[in-house]
Structure 1
């Protein structure tokens, strides 16, 4: 398995070199109502780096160019998707052409996947962040009442 620091470094490089279609979708995702829809871009997840991740909804969004339909890349994508689904993530894939042609339809599909239907009210979902350093100090305990003896 590749070390966490190497995956994080690779994710930083990918964030710095996003495709035009990823930038377009990222700007649109940032416009979604905030409750329960926080997305991360080029996020390390297990042995992979996913294009977009909503941890609270366990939703992964992948943006694919034409090379993803090629033999080896397509096989890698299928294996990666199986791993993500086995870990409990739902995966949505969009072609670059879908994002360019009808971004509104793409966002609608994302909304439905996150909230169940177009008419659904947004439900707040929280995820827990892993701490990079030591955990937060514990809250001070109240002294217990002394027992008479």
Structure 2
């Protein structure tokens, strides 16, 4: 049996806490992703893969969406984000990132870019 990499029990409380306290950008994007609104794809928010909690995850597409605020402009955080992305991509996931402000300024473009990563 292969190792379980999704939603480890030890991260459950943290995932619940993050879901209750979405950032404004996460809440805005979630309104367009929930209930299979984007081309019928099911997304989960604050889903864990290995020991990482990702902002949004679409299992059918193996697609991870990360939203980055000003915090992610820090050099050390950028290095961490890069390494994290490499690990997740090596596990077979596709990771795409958007700056928070893009969600507010051009949500239509963000949704289009997400759906461009769907296998039709």
Q: Same fold (TM over 0.5)?
A: yes
Q: TM-score, normalised by structure 2?
A: 0.88
**Which protein has the larger Cα radius of gyration, Structure 1 or Structure 2?**
1
In structure 2, the residue matched to 1:145 is none
In structure 2, the residue matched to 1:32 is 38
In structure 1, the residue matched to 2:3 is none
Q: Which has the higher strand share?
A: 2
> Is 1:11 matched up with 2:24?
no
Give the length in aligned residue pairs: 112
**Highest RCO, 1 vs 2 (Cα 8 Å, sep ≥ 6):** 2
Q: Which has the higher helix share?
A: 2
Deviations 1:82-136 (A, max 9, x none): 0000000001100011101000000000011114xxxxxxx4xxxxxxxxxxxxx
> Is 1:104 matched up with 2:108?
yes
- RMSD of equivalent CA atoms: 1.3
Q: Secondary structure at the match of 1:114?
A: coil
Give the unaligned 5+ runs of structure 1: 116-122, 124-149
Hey, which bits of structure 1, 4+ residues long, moved more than 4 A? none
Q: TM-score, normalised by structure 1?
A: 0.72
